[in-house]
Amino acid sequence: MAAQEEIEKSSAGPGSVEPVPDSTNDADSKKGEEDPYLVTWNGSDDPEHPYNWPFFRKWAITILLSNGGLVTLMSGAMLAPALESISADLGTGEEETQIFLSIFVLAFAFGPMVLSPLAEVFGRRPVWILSSCFYILWNTVAGFSRSPGLMIASRILSGIGASAEFAITNPVLSDCWIPSQRGVSFTISTFIPLLGPAIGPIIGGAVSQSIGWRWTFWILSIYDGLLVLIALFLFRETYEVIILNRRAAKLRKSTGNPYYTKSQGASDTLGSRVGGALTRPIRLLLTQPMLQLVGFFLAYNFGILYLVLSTFATLWIERYGQTQTQSGLNYIALVIGYTIAAQVGGRLMDRLWAYLKAKAGNNTAPEYRVPLMIPGAILIPLGLFIYGWTAERHTHWIVPDVGIAILGCGIINNTQSLQAYVMDAYREYVASASAASQFLRSITGFAFPIFAPAMYQALGYGWGNSVLALTFVVIGWPAPFLLWRYGATLRAMGKAQR
């Protein structure tokens, strides 16, 4: 499929929308004809453009990165059933032990703020591979920890490496898949990682009971090592800026002429490119009102999710008298909700995009991703109410599991819509924009679980979850309507970045 087919103008839709910039448009081609030293794509069907790669190659890279996402999500989930064993071995209290789990998530806030801009300078491939190696090193060290200090330090550092999942995956999807295929790419890229919260606790509980909690770290390090070996042969660079820059560099070397690209002049230095890139995520966050709003919504979504999950295993062990292995099986309910949202929501996203595009005379806008937030906004508080009050009254285990599945379905539904919105609105710097939008959510994912035990002890599961649900109604229900009505205006208010 030619890349040119997906260069779509914006109008109509929800408000006055600016066209989404794309480096393969006709203006670039004409400029390339006028300036013989400007390197652009060789027509709309240039085989080196990732849009035009064979489907097998695009799926192979997508599935590889989704396996990396599985490692990231399992690194937190596998530890949950083993926390009591870790606490006993390291001599830590409940709150300090909880930090071993949540500090890993805190690293997700800061890792992408560095890794994403580096991926825009050096490319997606080297940043993903080196970050994975960094994760393997420190995750292995965590398994050898004999003190709380080393455990915390290694969890932070391994979390920075694992955060490549959030820094690289969405940009790679944006690089390879045209907007009308965004939903289908999400269904595949999210399917494998979302198995992590289910199989992670099951494996973690079984491993910690049989061969010891330290192997929960080492097993993941071995698996991620295999992924890195595969990536060395399979993972080709997808970022079109890097591909064109390499083409220009090759022409400069072979001809001696000053070939350059739209994004990089022949005289640009590496230092200037790195310096500008490293500040881009924070500049975007500070100057783009739309990213601030999306970041706020994502922050509360993930804060709720991690708060609930931080006490999920404890509920089954202490209130329902289950073993560590049995408690892990309840995470299957969560993944069922995740999977339904990812598979059904992804396909609906593409259909809704096509419908709204046709209705608007073949024009598009990022706001076409917003309507799918509405089901999520309803499911999240519903799931919280069901899970909280049935757990409070010690109802049969299947009912709280139904509640947690509904909650998970709503969280993924909302998250996919917001991620697709950001990807469509910031195509040129999608890695930095994604990092900026996810910064606050990782902080709340770390902070909310810290007060979870105290909240549930004071209010119980019923009223505790009710407070979370009612707060979400106040914050989350207006979100899709604000983005639909004012999204284009907010994007227009943002300052242009380079």
pLDDT digit of tens for each residue in the chain (498 aa)? 444 444 444 433 333 333 333 444 444 444 445 678 888 888 878 889 999 999 899 999 999 999 999 999 888 778 877 877 888 888 887 777 778 877 888 888 888 999 999 998 899 999 999 999 999 999 999 999 888 889 999 999 999 999 998 889 989 998 998 888 878 888 878 778 877 777 777 788 788 888 888 999 999 999 999 999 999 999 999 999 899 988 888 888 888 888 888 876 555 667 777 877 888 889 998 999 989 999 999 999 888 988 888 788 788 888 888 876 787 788 889 889 988 998 888 888 888 888 888 888 888 888 888 898 999 999 999 999 999 999 999 899 999 999 999 999 999 899 888 988 988 888 778 888 888 888 888 888 888 887 888 898 899 999 999 999 999 999 889 989 999 988 888 888 876 666
**Which pLDDT belongs to residue 495?**
67
For residue 450 the two structure tokens come to 């810290």
Look at residues 318, 391, 323 and name the one whose alpha carbon lies nearest to residue 94.
318
Helices (H), 316-397: 324-329, 331-359, 373-392
Question: Would you mind telling me the total number of residues written for the chain in this entry?
Answer: 498
Dihedral through CA 17, CA 22, CA 24, CA 26, nearest 10?
Answer: 30
**Which pLDDT belongs to residue 32?**
46
**Which pLDDT belongs to residue 357?**
86
**Which pLDDT belongs to residue 271?**
74
How many helices (H) and strands (E) the chain has is answered by: 22, 0
CA dist 304 and 384 (Å) reads: 9
CA dist 181 and 496 (Å) reads: 27
**Which pLDDT belongs to residue 252?**
87
Provide the residue type at 111 as one letter.
Answer: G
**Which pLDDT belongs to residue 265?**
58
**Which pLDDT belongs to residue 497?**
61
**Which pLDDT belongs to residue 335?**
84
Which residues, in sequence order, are CB contacts of 26 under 8 Å at separation 6+?
Answer: none
- pTM, two decimals, is 0.80
Give CA angle at 468 (205, 294), nearest 5°: 95
